[in-house]
Amino acid sequence: MALETLWNSDNWQKGITSPVMTAEVPSAPPAFDVNNVSGYEGTTVGDTGKYFPPPPDSVPYQENEPMPAQTNWNIPAISEDEAKEAFIEYAASKCCYSKAPARDLVFQDLLALNTYRYYLETFTESRSSLWKTVPYKGEPVDSAMYGAAPSPWDMRIEVPEIFKDNIVRIKVPHTSTVKGCPICGCSGRRPCTQCHCLTRKQCWVCNGTGSQFTNQRCSSCSGTGTTMCNACSGLGTTACTDCGGTGKLLTYIELQVEWKNNIFEYVVDERTGFPTELFKAVKGKKLFVDEQYLVHPVISFPISAVNQASRNAIEQHQAQFGSTARIVRQRQTIELVFLTKVEYEWHRKSYSYYVYGNEHKVYVEDYPKKCGCTII
């Protein structure tokens, strides 16, 4: 049979393959000139895009923009009633704690050890491009004959939710072309990698011998030693994965628009001895929120370290993003996380506990009286 003249069981045993298999498939050259689109010179093929700095007039900044009015800071302090109520609730939540110390305590001092957090959020927009290649399925082609491609920053794209990361990818108008697929030679088919174009494969039951057990004809291949290749249905070729079997490729420039919320965070460390990891479980109180295109440094906060952090953050973000991306909006926030050390007396002995967070949670190292009950 014809198959036996090309390939027999001896060839299978020796690992000899079809000449079609050993022929090298040429790599795909670009189906386009990557520098033929004005405004997109340097656009690459692959995962790394070409970034385009925004034009100067896209940055909403004015040198003479007036400074916003500074806040008259009013930092609240916890009251004795709030401190006592929090302590009573804490004792009530412990099955073996007596409520007497929390109910009958005598306050000695309330020490405000509040921690402050400063945040600067700079919401930026950056634009990059790369060449994309997809199988052509017969859709209309928006080529250069319909006009010049708009510049990367000339396309109006609606900003999604502010201060949230997001990515949008769009096809740049008038950059599409259709070319023949160089991988399959425009045929839409490629050599089958399973049977190497031979349409049949070695029988897996008899390993190509045609017999099994004691010289019995193989029931799987009827003694031929081969079976039809399921991968290509006996055709010897499969659909080209690059062009999807169409033999043609559609290439175009893809513009990627990325919005990113860049955050600078500073926490004032007062070194109070309180286990600061507990702050992660509580919320703070916003003392100051300033949102505009470009914010100005805070200058009158009672804690000088926060003022300095504001200056540093704004300068850092302006240097980092001012020339590489468009700053859409900025927001700076000063947050107070309550921390009060309560010193009190009970039965002529001195004790202390901490009240922290908006939730007025309590942390105590040594509670004065536990009921000593045992669980049976």
pLDDT band at residue 66 under the 50/70/90 scheme = low
Rounded CA gap, 154 and 172, in Å?
11
Considering only residues 343 and 30, tell me which one the structure prediction assigns the higher pLDDT.
Answer: 343
For the chain, domain boundaries: 90-121+259-364
Q: Is 307 exposed, middle or buried (0-12, 13-18, 19+ CB in 10 A)?
A: middle
Count Cβ atoms below 10 Å from residue 89 Cβ, excluding itself.
14
The pLDDT-based confidence of 58 (bands split at 50, 70, 90) is low
Mean pLDDT, to the nearest integer, of 244-258? Answer: 95
pLDDT at 8 over 60: no
pLDDT level of residue 113 (50, 70, 90 thresholds): confident
Q: Which of 123-137, 284-298, 306-320, 357-371 has the lowest mean pLDDT?
A: 357-371
In terms of pTM, does the model score above 0.85?
A: no
pLDDT digits (tens, 9 = 90+) for 253-300: 999 999 999 999 888 877 777 887 788 788 888 889 999 999 999 998
Q: What is the DSSP letter of 46?
A: S
Highest-confidence segment of 13-22, 28-37, 43-52, 101-110? 101-110
Q: How confident is the model at residue 16 (pLDDT cuts 50, 70, 90)?
A: very low
Q: Could you report the per-residue pLDDT of 187-225, keeping only the tens digit for each?
A: 999 999 999 999 999 998 888 888 888 788 998 999 899
Q: Which pLDDT score, from 0 to 100, does residue 28 have?
A: 44
Name the residue among 322, 302, 309, 287 with its Cα closest to residue 120. 309
Q: Give the whole-angstrom CA distance, residue 108 versus residue 123.
A: 47
Asked if pLDDT for residue 26 goes beyond 50, the answer is: no
Q: What is the mean pLDDT of the chain?
A: 83
Res. 157: pLDDT tops 70 = yes
The arithmetic mean of pLDDT across residues 157-173, rounded, is 95
pLDDT at res. 47:
66
What is the pLDDT, as a whole number, of residue 71?
Answer: 63
Are the beta carbons of 172 and 40 closer than 8 angstroms? yes
pLDDT at res. 115: 85
pLDDT of res. 281: 82
Beta strands in 303-374 (DSSP E): 326-337, 339-346, 349-356, 361-363
pLDDT band at 247 (very low <50, low <70, confident <90, very high): very high
Residue from 130, 127, 133 nearest 155 by CA: 127
User: Which one is predicted more confidently, 144 or 49?
Assistant: 144
pLDDT of 29 higher than 90:
no
pLDDT score at 73: 63
* Confidence bin at 306 (pLDDT 50/70/90): very high
On the question of pLDDT at 316 being above 90, the answer is: yes
Q: Tokens in use for 1? A: 């049979």
Q: Are 367 and 346 in contact (CB under 8 A)?
A: no
- Across the strands, what pairs with 354? 341, 363
Overall average pLDDT of the 125-132 stretch:
93
Which of 24, 21, 46 is closest to 34 using CA atoms? 46
pLDDT confidence band for 131 (50 / 70 / 90): very high
Instruction: Identify the pLDDT of residue 41.
Output: 83
What is the rounded end-to-end Cα distance, in angstroms, of the chain? Answer: 88
Residue of higher predicted confidence among 53 and 70: 53
Kind of pairing between the strands at 189-191 and 211-212: unpaired
Task: State the pLDDT confidence band at 74, using cuts at 50, 70 and 90.
Answer: low
What residues contact 34, with CB distance under 8 A and at least 6 apart?
43, 44, 45, 131
Which pLDDT score is estimated for 298?
93
Q: Could you identify the residue written with the tokens 């999604």? A: 160
Token digits for 50? 């070409």
DSSP string across 178-229: EEE-TTTTTSSEEE-TTTTTSSEEE-TTTTTSSEETTTEEPTTTTTSSEEE-
- Per-residue DSSP letter, 157: -
Q: Locate 8 and state its tokens.
A: 């027999």
pLDDT at 20 over 70: no
What percentage of residues in the chain have a pLDDT greater than 90? 55
Residue 51, φ and ψ in degrees, nearest 5:
-90, 145
Euclidean distance between CA atoms 115 and 104, whole angstroms: 29
Structure tokens at 144: 């250069």
